[in-house]
Structure 1
Amino acid sequence: MGEFKGLLIPSLCFLFGVAAVLSELACKDSHSGPTYESLQSVFDKKPFRPATNLSNPTITNISFTLYAVLGVNEKSQILTTFLWLRLYWHHEFLQWDPEKCGGITKISLPVEELWMPDIIVYEFIDEDKSQRCPYIYVNHTGQIRYDRMLRVLSSCNLEIFNFPFDVQKCSLTFGSYMHTIRDVRVSLALPIEQISENSKKYLETSGEWELVKIQGETDILKFGIDEWDIITFWVTIKRRSVLYVVNLIIPSSFLMLVDIMSFYLPPHSVDRASFKMTLILGYTVFLLIMNDLLPSTANGTPLIGIYFSVCLALMVISLLETVIITNVLHHNAMKYRPVPRLVRVLVLGYLARLICYTRPPSQPETPSNNITTADPEKMKNVEVSMVSLPPLASPELQQICRDLGMVRAHIDSLRLQQDLEEEWIHVGYVLDYLLFRVYLVLITLYALVITCMWCIWYNL
């Protein structure tokens, strides 16, 4: 092993010493450009970094143009982009004098025959299947330009809470894979502002995402005692939300508007409860259909999912309110129970004035109307008093009087039942108006908060 090292080190020193002496490629008068033999000697040095002094690092200049945003997979946290990548570096073995080479200042050479810096994207999580350019351009000073198309599947921490008004910021880190900072250094070939402007100019996709800006910074990656020179580009993209507003938010708002307008149906009608149940069923079907459009991750739920859940909960609350009001209007009235004094004072008194509920004017009070608020047991006394007759009356007259008394008692009983029903109806209407206003205030506040949050995020 020691003999091998002893032979290798002098050979490398001799090789780079010859390269330092022969700094220019040979040309012939009958040929334009460097000769094939001189280029072949450079090709033979492909395994070695093209530097006459290995203590000097090879500086690689990097620039790219974001040509397309192909997709964002929120569940897998993957960003798919298409880049036009351009690399520049200096090859100290590829230099010639244009005056001696027929005025040729630039030639193209095959990529496989020359040393290249192993610049990669650190966020790469899949094999690059894009087409590779087979040639590079070299000018007479040894400056090399390499262009290639790059389909990047990179990992990105995607935040979907603001969906569909979310803005994603993903990083693309370029650097050498094997060469440390002593061998390969990276720098920007163009200013960051120009890279961002070129990407906005040539971005061809007009789908779901639009480019906001590109930022970049150089840094040093440390791992143990080794250091790597890297450049990190921060690509900020914003989702175009018109599709989701039209397909999700507007239909949901229409269904909520129909649910609000359903409060104007008569509360004592059974159709109101069935209408709300049908509306909830339709909203559930809508949620199942739009579930495929919503992004899903294990980290959290988007705000629009919470928005739909709250809307469904509000619809269920409105249905429960209808059930309660229906019970007040029908169940208590059918039992001929008078309205308790506490309910009459609290609901028909204070709450009715609070919500500005105006009770319809009552009919002029008659003697028969005096018993409407009495206990139903008093009806028996009324019935007995009406059938009491003088003992000298004929049997036919007594039978007629008894029949008339029974008719009068039945009529008064119906009036009592009607008055009880009307009073319970007023209680139900007051509660219905109160709960409707509370429900409307809750929906309005909720809609304002959601709208303000989305407007702030959309304008960021």
Structure 2
Amino acid sequence: MSAAMRTLAFLALIGISSSQTPDCSYLRLLNHLNLPTTNSALSIMRPVKNWTTTTILKLDMWLYGILEVDEKCQTLTSHVWIQMSWPNEFLTWNSSDFCGLDMVTVPRSMLWTPDIVIQEDASDSGSIHKGDYHSLMSSGRVRSNIRQRLTSTCRLNLYRFPFDEQHCNITFTSTTYQEDLLKLETYNNDTVLAKVSEHIMITQGEWQLENIKVTTDPWFHDGENFYKLIYMVKISRKPLLYVVILIIPLFYLLVLDLASFFIHEARGEKLSFKVTVLLSISVLLLILQDMLPSTEDALPMIATFCVSIFTMVGLSVLEAMVVIFLIDFDDFIGKKVQSCDNAHVDTQMDVIQNEPVGAEEKGEVKAEKSYLPLDWPKDGDLLKLILEEVRAARQEVGKQDKVKKKPSYYRKLAEIVDSVFFGIYLLTFLSFLVWMYVNWFRNPN
């Protein structure tokens, strides 16, 4: 009898336990929070029980990629992931009362969301993807994720292009809630944000992420204080491509122009070679024009590099023209003097040929005054032969190489000008390279 009673009591206990199984559904939790019913107050008001309580908004930004840096438009296009979290004092529960349920997703439209904007944002609204749901924790904390292809304005300093480093700020702030109502903070420090962003970054293009620093700063607007959370992103350019297509060719062209001083003027190739080098530099200047903005206040170092080389080669072309002019002028003077000498010799020969026949030619030469052999030429014929030999010798000398001629005044002047300009050109070239190295590669921004 007692055994039967114990059995009936045990079965009754099992029935009661099974009938009191707790409801672990999301619906029960939402009903407990009064969310299924229309509750517009939760979506329009800041979720605090005392309006003087400051809402602490924690915001982390992860950099997923550096897509483009537009030097002309002064913009940085990046792919960012923004995580925000804030407390809601009206939506809390004990997770043990709901089978350990400590998180539920709620439509974005049902809950209050802080109006956080990016001051440097220049992207269109279609590039922003906001999640349709918020994550609501049992502690009342709300989490939200935003993924965005962000185009932000950035004041680029291109003075050391292509060895430049850029500092771009991404500033988060509220346009409605003042500093005493909404305060911005981060979950993680800037070191963690920089390391994680560098690890998860998908693409960087020609840029390298150096670091991310986070600072806070209040700002004033219409006499009211607002809170700002500033992400300072430091990126550096990868300069190898620009070195290969711009800097090295310009350096080679300058070396070639320096080597052109060893081309002899008589070959007529020096001037044409220098003009070719000058045109090549002009082409590189046109390529550089498409890269750099025309609104830059300070002239970038690479532009100074190109303009300086262009100026040096241009002066070298002018110097080559002056030297060639002096040499040609010297040849002109020499030919004029030679023609005058030949004309003088021809005049003397004409005078000798036209002299009247003397007494000697009439057979009146006294025998006692002639001590020459009988077959020796007469005086007029002898002088004529001497002049013919002199003219033949002059013509033979004129056919020899002009290099063997002793340089005259203008040719000597041309050689002096060429030597002095070469020395000045070489010293300027070396000084310019040292100056560019110190200011371009060694000095920071």
TM bucket, shorter chain: 0.7 to 0.9
Alignment partner of 1:124 is 2:82: no
Q: Secondary structure at the match of 1:35?
A: helix
Partner of 1:8: none
Please tell me whether Structure 1 or Structure 2 has the larger radius of gyration of its CA atoms: 2
One-letter identity of the residue aligned with 1:138: L
Aligned mates of 1:109, 1:398 — CA distance in 2? 133
Q: Is contact 1:32-1:103 (8 Å) kept?
A: no
Runs of 5+ unmatched residues, structure 1: 1-27, 339-371
Alignment partner of 1:175 is 2:173: yes
Partner of 1:36: 30
Report deviation, 1:291: 3.1
One-letter identity of the residue aligned with 2:119: Y
One-letter identity of the residue aligned with 2:36: Q
Aligned mates of 1:291, 1:110 — CA distance in 2? 51
Alignment partner of 1:315 is 2:331: no
Partner of 2:366: none
Report deviation, 1:405: 2.1
One-letter identity of the residue aligned with 1:39: L
Q: Which deviations, in whole Å up to 9, do the C-alpha atoms of 1:328-357 show, x marking residues without a partner? A: 22203421399xxxxxxxxxxxxxxxxxxx
Q: Is contact 1:50-1:92 (8 Å) kept?
A: yes
Aligned mates of 1:224, 1:39 — CA distance in 2? 37
Partner of 2:373: none
Q: Which deviations, in whole Å up to 9, do the C-alpha atoms of 1:276-329 show, x marking residues without a partner? A: 222222332333344323444353432212211211111111111111111222
Partner of 2:245: 247
One-letter identity of the residue aligned with 1:32: S
Alignment partner of 1:258 is 2:256: yes
Q: Is contact 2:215-2:231 (8 Å) kept?
A: yes
Q: 2:223 aligns with which of 222, 225, 229?
A: 225
One-letter identity of the residue aligned with 1:216: V
Q: 2:418 aligns with which of 432, 437, 444?
A: 432
One-letter identity of the residue aligned with 2:268: V
One-letter identity of the residue aligned with 1:435: F
Q: Is contact 2:56-2:182 (8 Å) kept?
A: yes
Partner of 2:380: 398
Q: Is contact 1:325-1:428 (8 Å) kept?
A: yes
Judged with a 3 Å threshold, the aligned counterparts in structure 2 of structure 1 residues 178 and 391 are, in CA distance, closer, same or farther, namely farther
Alignment partner of 1:98 is 2:95: yes
Where do residues 369-408 of structure 1 align in structure 2 (5 Å cutoff)? Answer: 397-405=379-387, 407-408=389-390
Q: 2:139 aligns with which of 132, 141, 144?
A: 141
Q: Secondary structure at the match of 2:129?
A: coil
One-letter identity of the residue aligned with 1:107: V
Report deviation, 1:400: 4.7
Q: Which moved more, 1:276-285 or 1:165-174?
A: 276-285
Where do residues 29-428 of structure 1 align in structure 2 (5 Å cutoff)? Answer: 29-33=22-26, 34-37=28-31, 38-40=34-36, 43-44=39-40, 45-128=42-125, 129-336=127-334, 397-405=379-387, 407-408=389-390, 411=393, 419=405, 421=407, 424-428=410-414
Aligned mates of 2:200, 2:207 — CA distance in 1? 14
Aligned mates of 1:176, 1:392 — CA distance in 2? 131
Partner of 1:448: 434
Q: Secondary structure at the match of 2:314?
A: helix
Judged with a 3 Å threshold, the aligned counterparts in structure 2 of structure 1 residues 149 and 163 are, in CA distance, closer, same or farther, namely same
Q: Is contact 2:123-2:149 (8 Å) kept?
A: no
Q: Is contact 2:271-2:321 (8 Å) kept?
A: yes
Runs of 5+ unmatched residues, structure 2: 1-20, 362-376
Aligned mates of 1:197, 1:392 — CA distance in 2? 121
Q: Secondary structure at the match of 1:335?
A: helix
Partner of 1:24: none
Aligned mates of 1:206, 1:233 — CA distance in 2? 18
Q: Is contact 1:106-1:140 (8 Å) kept?
A: yes
Aligned mates of 1:425, 1:401 — CA distance in 2? 36
Aligned mates of 2:83, 2:382 — CA distance in 1? 114
Q: Which deviations, in whole Å up to 9, do the C-alpha atoms of 1:242-262 show, x marking residues without a partner? A: 110011111112222221221
Q: Secondary structure at the match of 1:291?
A: helix
Q: Is contact 1:175-1:231 (8 Å) kept?
A: yes
Q: Which deviations, in whole Å up to 9, do the C-alpha atoms of 1:383-417 show, x marking residues without a partner? A: 969x9899676596514523522542674698699
Q: Which moved more, 1:130-139 or 1:296-305?
A: 296-305
Q: Secondary structure at the match of 2:322?
A: helix
Q: Is contact 2:66-2:204 (8 Å) kept?
A: no
One-letter identity of the residue aligned with 1:93: F
One-letter identity of the residue aligned with 2:289: N
Report deviation, 1:125: 2.5
Q: Which deviations, in whole Å up to 9, do the C-alpha atoms of 1:133-169 show, x marking residues without a partner? A: 1122221101122122122222211111211111111
One-letter identity of the residue aligned with 1:97: N
Q: Is contact 1:156-1:171 (8 Å) kept?
A: yes
Judged with a 3 Å threshold, the aligned counterparts in structure 2 of structure 1 residues 206 and 73 are, in CA distance, closer, same or farther, namely closer
Q: Secondary structure at the match of 1:81?
A: strand
Q: Which deviations, in whole Å up to 9, do the C-alpha atoms of 1:15-53 show, x marking residues without a partner? A: xxxxxxxxxxxxx92233553332235853211111111
Q: Secondary structure at the match of 1:178?
A: coil
Q: Give aligned-pair identity as a percent.
A: 24
Q: Secondary structure at the match of 2:167?
A: strand
Aligned mates of 1:300, 1:393 — CA distance in 2? 96
Judged with a 3 Å threshold, the aligned counterparts in structure 2 of structure 1 residues 172 and 206 are, in CA distance, closer, same or farther, namely closer
TM-score, structure 1 as length reference? 0.77
TM-score, structure 2 as length reference? 0.80
One-letter identity of the residue aligned with 2:387: G
Q: Secondary structure at the match of 1:60?
A: strand
